[in-house]
Structure 1
Amino acid sequence: MTTTATHQTATLQDSETIDPVVAAARLLLEQLGIPVADLLAAHTGRTPMPTIAEYLPAVRAASTTASTKTREPHWQLLAQEWGNRRINEPTLSELEALANQVQERSQTRPNSRGGHGAKSNFVDTAKHFYRHAVLDRKIPAFANPAAHLKNHRIANARRALADRELAEINETAATTGRDPALDTLILRLHTETACRISGAVALRSNDLDRTNCLARLREKGRTRYQPVSPTLMAALIAHTEQRSPHNHPHEQLLRHHDGRPITSTHYTTLWTRIGRQLPWVSTLGVTTHWIRYTTLTWVERHFGYATAAAFAGHAKNNAWTGNTMTYVGATLEEVAATLAALTGEPHPRAPAKAVTCLPTGGTPAFD
């Protein structure tokens, strides 16, 4: 055996105790006559690997408003735990351990499903963070520690509310609290439109098409016009005139008595109060999203999947609606006819016909 071959074999044997891939790379470099030191010197002019704290602003800026709300607590956790570490330093095992910590901390919340939801959101956030790092060429795809991070989802505990349950919620909102007029208006808005909290909070006075009884909703980066009943339209207009007398068209519509615009925090307060009056609400962890489930379930049962998808504002060709919705998606007039059946009120964009309203135990009172 030649001296060179002996040296190469010894080098390979020594390297195999570290990593087979690294050993093979070193052997190849030796065969090509390229010292490892030369490779390191060639990279000294490159931008240093950013830390997690340094790279987070770029990921935040590339995220939608809706996703930011869900991911922000987990971004803060990454910055708190590993802010000073380079983005290529955390390992898969460390990410799994941190995900388990998130689950354990979340188990103490009343509406927690064993912390699985919080863990799932953390995993999604970590995958999103490192997917951007790969696409921005900060790290190579094979070095992505979140690529094999498992997201074990469990069955969603949310369901449509029974007529009796929905009626109890409306009655409690109308008879308790400091501002029942606002709370009943909010519940009516969510029941009629199945909108998300972000859509209600983002509603502006210039989003109301008074002639056609349509409300412009902005949710998850998309905008749509959703039919509302004449009763709800009149209540929204009256609310604006009473609580925003200057009536700036671009100002937020839903407001407290003193004129302050509501935030998502108001929903937390609302459901906490309802839960104190109705223990089953607290036990089940009922939230505004249950109202969305209730309306969309009713729509699907009576008017079919295509109408329910349009009513929900789901984008065509996404994972939930499927490609078929490109061809059979419901029209605005069909959604308006569905709303007329749900509320028992004729709608300007719906064909005139007999309607049967969804029993909810009474219509919420508006101021």
Structure 2
Amino acid sequence: MLKYRVAAIAAAISAAWIALTPTTAASATTAWEQWTQIKGVFDVDGPRTDGSMVVAGSAALYLVDATGNKTPFARGPGGYHEDAGAEAYLAVSRGGDVAGAQCSFAPDETFLLRLHVPIGITRINAAGDETGSFANLTGVSTLNGIAFDTVGSFDHRLLVTGPAGGKTTVFAIDCNGAVKVITRSAPALEGGLAVAPQTFGSFGGDLIAPDELSGKIYAIAPDGKVALIARPALPTGGDIGVESLVTSDGLGAAGVQEGDMLVATEGGASLIAIRCGSSCSIVPVVSTATKAHGEGHLTFTVNAPPPSPTPAPPVVKQSPVPAAVVDFVGQWGIAGVVIILLIGVIAALAVQAFRHRAK
């Protein structure tokens, strides 16, 4: 599958969540353009601390930088060699602290759905030379969603979804691999997950999850309660409907504002923004049909602002009055100075008179 990006935006796309600058520009000027090509690509997350994205394709992982350069990742003896041909979605750790477990996720580690028995999560260290089981997940037939809570409403745990009996189970996993079930009765879900920022109206801090079959987008609260956010007028169906979520700095040229949630369909990668305050509204972002396949997460990188010029050092002017004189005036005041001057004048006159008499 080809990897695409939004034209004229410094963003690498295939799935996530963003904060954006308000603008009123028309969405018709925003479109996908071909960025780079990776065989069998189906998910991406990041960026890592070095700025690269982790990209999954055909049971092989890559690190891709902002220019599109690809480096094979986790290919050695201790690397990742599981679930060939399966959609084993991934999430990259930002290094969040889990207060309830008194531990932290290490930054840049990659966590992938393990779709073979035992079903669970596989962890890859940041260097890509150590791979192993992180957690086993029971009571589901498979797994279909993964994302880190970067907001903190789920205590920065790793959130994973899986189907069971027509419903969806939501798991929260801490940095020790301990598993907590958020709910076993969420609606059917399929696609990229994201935790909403606290500014996302009444759904701030909730896990946002789409269902590509129905086109519905749900919010799942930390206590397991589920609410319907929206049902956009987008194509639906397996490998067609809403699949990916994101929010971050970058798409202001399409009218996206800070705190908006971006949603892409899998087939054609139509892109909309959902904005929630007291109510939720939908803003079209990319409506032109494309060949893009919007599988997995949406992830963005943003050009850093240019550095501010170094300020010139302040010029210190030397006072014509000695510092000792200034200190004396500050201590004794103007009156004291006047008295000293009068004494000096009188003394000078007295000396002059004495010399005159001596002649």
Higher strand share: 2
TM-score, L = length of structure 1: 0.21
Q: Where is the helix percentage greater, Structure 1 or Structure 2?
A: 1
Q: TM-score, normalised by structure 2?
A: 0.21
Greater C-alpha radius of gyration: 2
